[in-house]
Structure 1
Amino acid sequence: MKKNIVLFVLFILPIVAYLFFASGVNSFIKLPIITPKIADIGNWTSLNGEKVTLDKKITILGFSGTQLLKNRGNLFNLNEKIYQRYHGFKDLQFVMICPLGTEKDVKSIMDAFDDFTDVSHWYFVFTTPDEIKSYYNQLHLVNKLDANYGTSNVFIIDKERNLRGRKDKKEYKEGYDTFHPSELSNEMLDDFKIILYEYRAALKKNNNATKQL
């Protein structure tokens, strides 16, 4: 009897587990593309003068809006649930598109983050409300920006500038609501791990598995 149990654990259980995960809607194979080849960020002013691009980076993209200080809890949630866990990867960045005039608000929040977080992978770029609306519209999303040119949702952009998410009719998801920590800890973290798995698998296939994604 014990021998049968051991054989089951060693041989049958792994096969069952594989079939279970392989049959899932969001299996660890590929996260669907919601919008292909979104535009790169223009020559917009960044907080620290860096050149910010979405090319060849996995990007968590957000739109802060003019009420950044009022909604700073959303950034704290994202920082705690996702950023602090994964910011050590070289090919990952967090980019927030902000209206001109919110530079001081961003700096005060980043100064607060700096007390307990390495903020080197946070990037903030600033442009006009019209440019923000135009850029957001080319993402072709169901949800729209609010009256303050922002949204509590953030988006996963892959290295080829494809916006990724879930396309299943029962669970369509184009972005992840930073207002709800549980959504970041569950849906977003699950989908983000799929993206990491994709690139790690590609690196291993090319015999180049490094600290980079």
Structure 2
Amino acid sequence: MKKTFVLTVLFVLPLVVYLFFASGVNRFGKLPVLTAQVGDLEGFGDARLDGRISILGFLGTDPGSKKGNVFNLNQKIYKPFYEFTDFQVIMVVAPGSEAAVEELRSELATFTDIRNWRFVSGTPEQVQGLFSSLQTDLALDASLSTPYVFIIDKERRLRGRDSDEDEGTKYGFDATSVADLNNKMKDDVKIILAEYRMALKKNRADR
């Protein structure tokens, strides 16, 4: 009887522990899908959402006034992840803001490799339509901007949190808040990148 107990502890218990943690990875290893289909970028230039892991933001008619948000996002989210395949940051602006965008790009380029920063322009109707397709509880202001940025996966799905401790459903991340970017968004970007890496490894193993 004693021998059976010892064998159980040595061989069965580790298996149970492994299965527990493995189920945890399956349950919590994916970032929730909050919107099944976000609008595409047709009419916004040559950028695209399909096949890319995108951080999507809206700078509106006065991108220069949102410089702090852009720099926060650059330091806390873009720089740690920009070398990952298919990762990009897309900022949507309104027509007539080209000079402000160029100034932003020039300032970023002094201390950042900006190869995966994209600035795209659309009409007010296009910008509002794209934002509405996110289906969030947020809104653009009168300048067609918002401080919130959003995680869009390769299938053009909005990813976020469905049980955030502060907000419940968390559709976007406040780029004015270093804490929100650093403590929440960075973790969620890590999760979605890991999710795609695991899927890629599985596909290679299945071949």
TM-score band by shorter chain is: 0.7 to 0.9
Cα deviation digits, residues 17-58 of structure 1 (max 9, x gap): x64992898x2x21111111212101224xxxxx21111100
Cα deviation digits, residues 73-125 of structure 1 (max 9, x gap): 00000000010111011211111111001111011011011111110100011
* 2:158 paired with 1:189: no
Question: Equivalents in 2 of 1:107, 1:21: separation in Å?
Answer: 48
Q: How does 1:1-213 map to 2 (within 5 A)?
A: 15=17, 19=21, 22=24, 27=28, 29-45=29-45, 51-168=46-163, 170=165, 171-207=168-204
User: Aligned residues, how many?
Assistant: 191
Query: Could you tell me the percent identity over the aligned residues?
Result: 40
Cα deviation digits, residues 116-149 of structure 1 (max 9, x gap): 1110100011111122112211211101011110
Structure with more of its chain in helix, by fraction: 2
How far off its partner does 1:172 sit?
A: 1.5
| Letter in structure 1 aligned against 2:133 | Q
Question: Equivalents in 1 of 2:40, 2:122: separation in Å?
Answer: 14
Does the residue aligned with 2:151 lie in a helix, a strand or coil? Answer: strand
Question: Equivalents in 1 of 2:107, 2:189: separation in Å?
Answer: 26
Please give the TM-score of this superposition, normalised by the length of structure 1: 0.82
The root-mean-square deviation of aligned C-alpha atoms, in Å, is 2.5
| Letter in structure 2 aligned against 1:141 | T
Cα deviation digits, residues 164-209 of structure 1 (max 9, x gap): 011127531000000001111111011111101110111111227x
User: Structure 1 stretches of 5 or more lacking a match?
Assistant: 1-10, 46-50, 209-213
| Range with greater deviation from structure 2 (73-82 or 30-39) | 30-39
| Letter in structure 1 aligned against 2:179 | S
Does the residue aligned with 1:71 lie in a helix, a strand or coil? Answer: helix
Contact kept, 8 Å, 2:43 with 2:122, in 1: the verdict is: no
Question: Equivalents in 2 of 1:24, 1:153: separation in Å?
Answer: 29
Cα distance, 1:65–1:200 mapped onto 2, change above 3 Å:
same
Contact kept, 8 Å, 2:90 with 2:118, in 1: the verdict is: yes
Does the residue aligned with 1:200 lie in a helix, a strand or coil? Answer: helix
Contact kept, 8 Å, 2:37 with 2:133, in 1: the verdict is: no
Q: Which runs of 4+ in 1 moved over 6 A?
A: none
